[in-house]
Every structure is written in structure tokens, then in C-alpha cells.
A and B are shown apart, each in its own frame.
Chain A
């Protein structure tokens, strides 16, 4: 696991000497018997948009709260900007947080909310005013300074929370599912906006989300977490194209997984005999090459499967269900030898697909297949 974590460098870091903004070394957090975070080691680089992605209960929020200082790790060390912060209260850490439900102060207007941190830091009056104004402009809230939070929409409150944190120019901005409460359209807009904002201010963002699409859209690097451990740490493309294990493959995007035993292994080519009895050929791209008669899994993304009769893997099937998705159509087919398969077809100008109940042939290539660890 360690090798995977250090193998990838954030995109755009040609020089390996980029500074570390947050270092988590051997972090374990236990709540009674429950291990929320299990021996976590992570370096988050300066200026990076870093996401912690995983299902609820995977330890991502706990990790964020340990960086913020709301929780202390049971074991391990956390440093922010090169300084160890264990035992340092939240208000003395050079980080700010955007909370899940925003946690805007309801008794203060927008200006006072945004100015809160600056005033605690005893920033001079004039400077407070100008920085608050700038921050509000930055998040497109200019003119809303005198409003009370109760009079703002969800999206506007989100912006207040963002401005309130960013105005303090933290070394690291921590975001805990900040878009979770917004509707889909607004969420998509905000994703792009957050990303460009991050590029503009150059502050390190540590972003917690359970939404893989959100993480893929915005992040430079993503740590996929499950059961307190990092399953894979990589950039969006790598994560999607070469998930490290079944969990990551299943969590990032949709995928078809065949489980079975290795019938033949020839160099990087593997033939799997599935439990249902069909054969699947795959090319191994990871380091570990499964040996003959070993149990393993082979995955293929739905968009890499097509209707047709030419390819490394060809299989007769019956169309069970068709779901029109707009840009593409999703087909669920039952394979002749047993087992289900999902495939996507782009809705091109003249494309006409099969109908439900039709007998078809599906095909995919070995190089688009992945051999996965458990």
C-alpha cells in the first residue's frame, strides 16, 4: 500500500521538492473499541486540491477533524506547514474549516460572519473591512454584507462559509462535504467554482466527500478510504483507469467484475474462468501477476464493452433492461454462460440499439480489462 501512496506525484509538480502542507504520520484514532482511522500515513502538498473520498464511516471526516484540531489522534503525529500540532487547540492552528452544514453564525450578518476570524486575530479595522469586502467579492457575495444568514439561500450560505474561512488566509483549508446540502445543478456549478477559486488563491484544499464524481471533478489527488485505511492514493485518471482493488473499482464509477480462478497466465495476459463458467481474457497492468489456479477478479468498465462480434472477449447475451441516460444509454444484459453485464453506448446521431429481449453479442478487449486484488 505504501508504494502506491508515494508513487504518484500531484500533477504539475515537476519538481519533487514541493513543500508538504499536511503530514499525517501513523495516525490512528480509536473511539472506544471502534477504530475510525487505522495507521494512516499521508502527505498533502502545498497548493494541492486533495480529496478524502469514501463511504460514510470510512474515517475521512475523522481525519479532517484531527487536522482541524477538533479531535486528537490516539496515536501518530500531525504536522501542518512543518509544525507538529498535536495538543494545539483549533484556534491556534493555521487551518480553517468549511463545515458540512456551513455553521454560519445565525446572529451575525454576512459581514460580521466573514470578519469573525480577522477580529479574533486583532486585524486593524480598515484592513478587516477591505479584506472582508474582497472575500465577499471573491465568492460573489458583494452587496449581501448586511444580510442575516436566515435571509440567504443554501448556495449563498455556502459562499459565506467559504469566504469566512478563506478571508483568514489559512495555510490549509479543510472542507467537510461542503456541497452536500445543495441541489444537483448548484452543486455542479459550485464544484467548478471551488476548483477555480482554489487555483486562484493557491491555498491547499483538503476536501472530504463521499461523492466520487465530485472528487474526480475537482481534485489533484484523491485518497480513497475504507474502514479507516487508504485504499488507493492517486490522481483522478489513475484511480479510474487503474483502480488498485475491488473496493476502489466499485467505488469509483461503475464496473463489471468477474470472479473466478486463473486458467492460464501467459506473461501479462491472463485467462480467467468465471464461477458461471465463461472465460475472460485480461491484460495485467499492476505489478502483481496472478498465478495459475489462483482466485482473482477481472473488471471491465461498462463504456469499454460494445455490441459486436470482434474482440478478445465475445459473448452471446440477451438484453434485459435499457436505461436512457441522455448522452448515453445503459444496457443490462444477461450473458449466455450466466452473470450480468452492464454496458454504455453513446447516443450518436444515427445510433439505434437493440431492444429489450433481443439476442445480442457483446465484446470487449483484454487490454481494457483489469485484474484486481481483493
Chain B
């Protein structure tokens, strides 16, 4: 503390930061340390754990079955992120640049789904996409299909559900990034001979990259750990990493392996995010 004060930290700032430090320490850091400690322990048959150093939990991950699940989860998460981006960008762009006085109302609409629990919304999809649901009824009414078709409990339904759930996480940071965009830069682009599309590609889009990165991370991370939607909308036919971890803690009562999976997922996500940020380039973002 004395050192910090010496570095110019005021007592006031320290006092302001104390609650959040305690909060994060108690509810984030300490649990995280437990998980790391668990991941090197040995699971007892009926739950509980003997602490120690047992790297076997991590070696277990190299079971081709589990590797396949992890890789597929990351793939589905990446695909969800991509679809959210393709849908979310035009939406955010529209709201910011064409929304005019409806802007705030439109942003509010994007957030409306958060007003109810994800589970209830997922259930709504089960009803909508079911054999007797509105979707099937509409298709039959329009003469597109003769009878009910399988719209739910398919991999596509899982992807749709995840996109639906996480789209706001993409739209909101994009909105924030585009909203502070100086429209004169667009004019400057056009003035310098860039068509609308070129201006978008060379000016607007690069400058919205912080939003794209934030949105992608906010969508990718929960998607990679998702376990509710694959069960609800996928009929539990797809096992994702989240399901696997959940299973270790509840059914298998293998807390050590579950912890190892959690740690590994966290490390993988961190790595993926760092690679992504490097790749998409914070260097391009300097001076923004």
C-alpha cells in the first residue's frame, strides 16, 4: 500500500477500488483458484476431491472423444460468432446511421429479449418450431410444405438458438463503436474518390473494429461454454464442452476432470482471443 501511495495513488482512489477488489477477489479469483486446485486433485467416487498433484485430469482431455467435443464446440462458437456478426453489423449500422429519432427506441428493442430468462425464450422456440408450432403452420399455410417438418432438435436449430441468444451481445458493442464514429470521415472518404462501398471498407469498417472485436469476444466466449441450448433446442444430441463440464460435476461426479476441462476451456478461449486481437490488429486501432 505504501508503495502504491508513493506511486501517486491517492487514498481516495484506493478506497474507491477496494469494494470491487474485494468483490472480484471473493467471487472471481478465489473460485478460480479453487478450480485450478481441483483440476490437479483426485476425484472421489461420490463427489468431493482429494487435493494433490495429479496431471492425469489434463491427460484425460486427450481422449479423442473429448478432443472432438472441444473442437466441435469451438467450431460452433466460431460459426455462431460469424452469423451474429453478419446479422448484427447491418443492424447496428442501420440503427446508428438511419435510425434518426428512433435510434434509442431501436437499441432498446435489441435489448428487450434480456428482459426474460434465456430458458423461457428457448422454450418459446421449442413451441414455435414444434410440429404444431407457428413456424410449421405458416409453412403449410403458404403451401411450402405438405406436413410438419423437423425444424427443431436439429443442429441448425441449435445454431439458430445460439445466434438468437447472443445477437444482442454483438449488436450493442457495434452500436457503441459506430455511434461515436465521425460521419465527416465518411464524407472525407467519398471526397477522396472512394465509393460508398469503398468508404465503408476502408474507413467505416476499420474504425468499427474495436466494436467488432468486443462483440465477437462477447459472443464467442459464452457460445463456447453453452450447454443449455444444445439440450433444449438440439434434443441433447450434440454434446458441447459446456455439457461435458456440467456432466463431470453432476452425473460423473468427477470434479477434478470437470475442473481440468474448465481450466483448459478458459486457457483455450484466452488464447483464441489473444490470437484474434493480434490478427484483427490492435495496432490498426491505435489513435482511435
Find B194's partner among A91, A150, A151 (CB 8 Å cutoff): A91
CB of B72 within 8 Å of the partner chain? no
Question: Chain A's interface: helix, strand, loop or mixed, by majority?
Answer: mixed
**How many A-B contacts if CB must be within 8 Å?**
74
Find A107's partner among B192, B193, B194, B284 (CB 8 Å cutoff): B284
- Report the interface size for chain A: residues with CB under 8 A from the other chain: 29
Q: Are B287 and A150 in contact (CB under 8 A)?
A: yes
- Interface size of B as a range: 20 to 34
CB of B207 within 8 Å of the partner chain? yes
Query: How far, in whole Å, are A97 and B187 apart by their CA atoms in the complex?
Result: 9
Q: Are A103 and B184 in contact (CB under 8 A)?
A: yes
Find B207's partner among A68, A95, A107, A121 (CB 8 Å cutoff): A107
Query: Please, which residues of chain B bring their CB within 8 A of the CB of A101?
Result: 182, 184
**Residue among A89, A90, A99, A100 with the highest chain B CB neighbour number at 10 A:** A90
Interface residues in A65-103 (C-beta closer than 8 Å to B): 68-70, 89-92, 95-97, 99-101, 103
Find B187's partner among A90, A106, A107, A165 (CB 8 Å cutoff): A90
Query: Please, which residues of chain A bring their CB within 8 A of the CB of B288?
Result: 106-107, 150
Q: Are A117 and B284 in contact (CB under 8 A)?
A: no
Query: Please, which residues of chain B bring their CB within 8 A of the CB of A165?
Result: 191-192
Q: Are A96 and B185 in contact (CB under 8 A)?
A: no
Query: Please, which residues of chain A bring their CB within 8 A of the CB of B206?
Result: 107
Chain A residue with the shortest CB-CB distance to B185: A103
Q: Are A99 and B287 in contact (CB under 8 A)?
A: no
Find B287's partner among A69, A92, A106, A168 (CB 8 Å cutoff): A106
Chain B residue with the shortest CB-CB distance to A121: B193
Query: How far, in whole Å, are A105 and B287 apart by their CA atoms in the complex?
Result: 10
Of B3-11, B108-116, B195-203, B246-254, the one touching chain A: B195-203
Interchain nearest-CB distance for A243 vs B (Å) = 34
Find A148's partner among B190, B192, B286 (CB 8 Å cutoff): B286
CB of B188 within 8 Å of the partner chain? yes
Interface residues in A177-205 (C-beta closer than 8 Å to B): none
Known: A99-B188, A103-B182, A107-B207. A120 touches B193 (CB 8 A): yes
CB of A164 within 8 Å of the partner chain? yes
Find A103's partner among B187, B284, B285, B287 (CB 8 Å cutoff): B187
Query: Please, which residues of chain B bring their CB within 8 A of the CB of A104?
Result: 188
CB of A307 within 8 Å of the partner chain? no
Query: How far, in whole Å, are A96 and B284 apart by their CA atoms in the complex?
Result: 26
Query: How far, in whole Å, are A89 and B187 apart by their CA atoms in the complex?
Result: 11
A200-238 CB mask vs B (1 if < 8 Å, else 0) is 000000000000000000000000000000000000000
B contacts, CB < 8 Å to A = 182, 184-185, 187-195, 198-199, 202-203, 206-207, 209, 284-288
